[in-house]
Each structure stands twice: as structure tokens, then as C-alpha cells.
Amino acid sequence: MCGRLSQYRGIHDFVAALSIPDALINHVGDEPLARYNAAPTTQLALLHLESSGLHADFQRWGWRPHWAKDRAAPINARVEKVAHGPFFRAIWPHRTIVPIDNWFEWVDAGDSTRQPWLIRRRDRAPILCAAIGQFPGPGGEPRADDGFVIITADSAGGMLDIHDRRPVVLSASLAREWLDPATPKERAEQMALLQGEVSEVFEWYKVGKAVGNSRNQGAALIDEIP
């Protein structure tokens, strides 16, 4: 977890969920994002707060430090280690929110195939994932070493039957605090470790196996199947 997700609303819908009154510095456009089946290395929209205001930028899903070129860029970071390990030390202070509509997990179907499941909020509100990264320059132009990782935690309750890890999802008020550069790093770690949304906030259902091919896109991918 988390290795595939959807981000299909428009950026203004996601920003509205945060209730940040400042004007948005928007580098992703006003149209629906329409990413129903986003895979690692995809350019996804994220939100980060700078002195100039709230920025929306496209960013590559995955990041590694310059000294780790011998390995694939991780897409997730375990909340238990992210604040103190050397791998993410350079970007731990650079907090961002990756707003999504849902994510997918795969479960052994018992017939040598894997069944995909979609996970979303029960209230259908945007999912505000805690993340860290290295962001584009002032004009939104991407750089070769830009990227982000989503922070993950242990699953609990019924969600554990789908996968043992899940994103750290923050409420709107905690997401605003997470984004604020004035929030101390120790407080950010506490939020990520202890204050993510609980499993009961979410629901999950089976979807068609077409989502397994990341080249497939479209709203039909998120439809429930019997």
C-alpha cells in the first residue's frame, strides 16, 4: 500500500475540502483531473503551503535522495520510520497533502488471480493523504529530482482484511496544520503517528480487474461489481 489511486475531481473541489481562504496558486488547471487509475511515477496534483500562499502543482509520485540512485524510488514512507531515518531526512520538513478520491488494493482471489478492491471515505469527501516531497520551483516547473511519497500506517479493523498498510489520512483541520510550515516537526510526527482517520471512516468494495492495467482509464473502473 498504497500503489494505485484515483484523483478525478478538479483541484478546486479538493481545495474546498481544506477550507483555506487564501487564493490558490494553481499550476494544475481548472478542469477535472480525470486520473481514475494512477500508478507510481504518474504526475499527480498535490497541495503545499508556501509564503506566497497555497500551491497546487503536478508532481511525480516517487522520490529518492541523490545518493540512492542504485534503487527504485519509493512511493510510500512508513510512518514509524519516516521522521528519523536517513532516507527521507531531506524532505521530512517539506510537508504536502495529496488529495485523492480513492485508492485500490488487491487480495488473493483463491483461483491464482487477485481481486481489486476500491477504498474511499463513506461520506465520499476527498481523502487528504499526508505526504512529503521536494516541490517544483516558483513557476511550477518540474525539476529532475522533484517527487513525493505518501506516508502509510498499519491498517486496523475490517480494512486489515484488504491490506495491512494504508495511507495516513488527515481531517481537514489537521491537514491545514500539517501544511503549515510553522507547525513543528515534532507535532507533525505526532499527527501522522496518532491522529490519522480511523478505519471506520472508510468503506470498500470489489471493482473489475481492468484496473490492474494502469493504461486503462475511465469512470467505469471505480464501479462496484457483485
Nine-digit cell string for 201: 471512516
In the chain, what is the straight-line distance between the N-terminal and C-terminal CA atoms, in Å? 24
Among the listed residues 132, 126, 148, the one whose alpha carbon sits nearest the alpha carbon of residue 19: 126
Q: What residues have CB less than 8 Å from 39, skipping those under 6 apart?
A: 3, 4, 61, 214
- Catalytic residue flag (residue 141): no
- 2 among known catalytic residues: yes
Q: Are residues 42 and 61 in contact, defined by beta-carbon separation less than 8 angstroms?
A: yes
Using an 8 Å Cβ cutoff, are 132 and 88 in contact?
Answer: yes
Joined together, the cell numbers standing for residue 75 give: 512511493
Catalytic residue, chosen from 31, 80, 105, 186, is 105
Pairwise CA distance, residues 131 & 59, whole Å: 12
Distance between CA atoms of residues 60 and 149, nearest Å: 9
SS3 191: helix
Do you know the residue count of the chain?
226
Q: Which residues are catalytic?
A: 2, 105
